[in-house]
Structure 1
Amino acid sequence: MRTTTVAEPGWQVGVVWMGFPVVGAGLLWGVQAAAGWLLSLPWIPFRGPLRLIDSIPEPWDTVGSLALGAAVGLFFAAWAAHERLTVEVTDETLTLTRGGTPRTIDRTEISAVFFDDKKLVVLGRISEELARESHDLPAGAVADAFQTHGYPWLDADPHRDEFRRWVEDLPDLPPAVNALLKARAKALKKSDADDARELRTELARLGVVVRDDRKRQFWRLTGQSGR
């Protein structure tokens, strides 16, 4: 069975693993080097930690700041690696893997695949969203993979004109949907990505597709909604 795999380029992965520790070390070293000057500014916050940093003698303050900054950078590099999306396409299935967890979608369930800004979107047979994944994959390679295996790749969302902006207590929507959208608006305002993702899933079960634009929610109904 032919399989086409699309992942982030090796050079891009290398930049993250090498660059994040270097940037982290440089930033923390800069704070350490400027701690004395920063304490001279009466309005500067976090004076306690700055005094502690400034009190550490050389060379331990420089060594410590570089080591801690590099460790913080490595942590974020590992987090970025965990969040990377890998796409595997065959003639029969699509597999999306993030955080080491694969999710497979049968080809027969898919009606359209396209990019919505920096999201890879997969639609089902009644226009429901089977997947909406953020990514840093090469766009051309992704499109080629789907087209090579005969998937319905589109240049844009075929239902984009159906989306309407959500406002609180919209009369066109059932109370349960409005309640979920209201809770999701709060999650977006707090930048709670996990809660927003869970609420999107709950809305999908009710036949509602949601897309975001600068923390504003836009919605449309799928075929299962019966409206």
Structure 2
Amino acid sequence: MTEPGWLFALYFVLFPVIGAAALWVVKLIVDWGAATLSWLPFEDIVKFLASIPDPQATLGALALGAAGGLFVAFMAKYESLEVLVSPEGITLTRKGESRTIPADRVNGAFWDGKALVLLGRDGGELARETSDLKEGPVHETLTAHGYTWLDGDPYREEFRRWVEGVPGLPPGADALLKARAKALEKDDAHDIAELRDELARLGVVVRDHKKRQHYRLVERSPGDE
């Protein structure tokens, strides 16, 4: 399963058009500014850009804008989530990296906002992946291959908001949650995901709401790694 093909087709048409239009507007502003606004910052650069004759300047602006739009579209495709489901396991692929979760480890799946969540046998989360996939097709595909679909998070009431120094956490978990809070403030997706995995290994499940972390604890056993 991937995000709808029509959505990516729209990206590859719409983003280049928006990019081209944006640079065309910039070109018009440069022409106007060079002629009337001598106080503009970078006045020499503005005058140089305005000195490029048409149609070369307009065509160049349109081409650069379209190229920028295509780059954005490719990045959207690259960062999208692909889900491959089989009776043997569920493979999640994003940014060229894949991981497969064996079927015998998956106790259920549910949709949480814009995230697909896979629960393990111990109640921990094996995966929490945000995407623009639609819940209906994901639900149908997973159940068709024998996976249990849940109406929602059966552990929702167990989550508590994390504050630094909260008692009862496993050793090291508080420091990881503190580091992850900083990553959330910076929107550092790599650190956010990596620290979630570190916490999961300690038996701490974490979910976010408006950059606030909520957690619950899971009993881990050696076979859960």
Given the two structures, how large is their TM-score scaled by the length of structure 2? 0.87
Query: Which residue in the other structure is 1:34 paired with?
Result: 29
SS in structure 1 opposite 2:220? helix
Contact in 1 for aligned 2:8/2:73 (Cα 8 Å): no
Distance in structure 2 (CA, Å) of the matches to 1:101 and 1:48: 46
Contact in 2 for aligned 1:169/1:175 (Cα 8 Å): no
Query: Which residue in the other structure is 1:10 paired with?
Result: 5
Q: CA RMSD in A?
A: 2.4
Give runs of aligned pairs for residues 23-62 of structure 1, distance below 5 A.
23-36=18-31, 50=46, 52-62=48-58
What is the Cα deviation at residue 51 of structure 1? Answer: 5.3
What is the Cα deviation at residue 185 of structure 1? Answer: 0.8
Q: Which moved more, 1:121-130 or 1:44-53?
A: 44-53
Contact in 2 for aligned 1:94/1:106 (Cα 8 Å): yes
Query: Which residue in the other structure is 1:82 paired with?
Result: 78
- TM-superposition CA deviations, 1:153-208 (whole Å, max 9, x none): 11211111111111122223245111111111111111111111111111111111
Change in 2 beyond 3 A, CA 1:10/1:174:
closer
Residue 179 (str. 1) matches residue 168 (str. 2): no
Query: Which residue in the other structure is 2:17 paired with?
Result: 22
Query: Which residue in the other structure is 1:139 paired with?
Result: 135
SS in structure 2 opposite 1:223? coil
Aligned length: 220
Change in 2 beyond 3 A, CA 1:202/1:47:
farther
Change in 2 beyond 3 A, CA 1:64/1:179:
same
Query: Which residue in the other structure is 2:155 paired with?
Result: 159
Change in 2 beyond 3 A, CA 1:175/1:49:
farther
SS in structure 2 opposite 1:157? coil
Aligned match for 2:68, one of 66, 72, 87: 72
Query: Which residue in the other structure is 1:3 paired with?
Result: none
Give runs of aligned pairs for residues 88-167 of structure 1, distance below 5 A.
88-167=84-163
Structure 2, unpaired ranges of 5+: none
What is the Cα deviation at residue 48 of structure 1? Answer: 7.2
The one-letter code matched in structure 2 to 1:26 is: A
Distance in structure 1 (CA, Å) of the matches to 2:37 and 2:163: 45
Distance in structure 2 (CA, Å) of the matches to 1:42 and 1:199: 51
The one-letter code matched in structure 2 to 1:10 is: G
Contact in 1 for aligned 2:116/2:130 (Cα 8 Å): yes
What is the Cα deviation at residue 46 of structure 1? Answer: 7.4
Residue 217 (str. 1) matches residue 217 (str. 2): no
Aligned-pair identity (%):
54
SS in structure 2 opposite 1:58? coil
Given the two structures, how large is their TM-score scaled by the length of structure 1? 0.87
Distance in structure 2 (CA, Å) of the matches to 1:43 and 1:191: 37
SS in structure 1 opposite 2:111? strand
Contact in 2 for aligned 1:95/1:102 (Cα 8 Å): yes
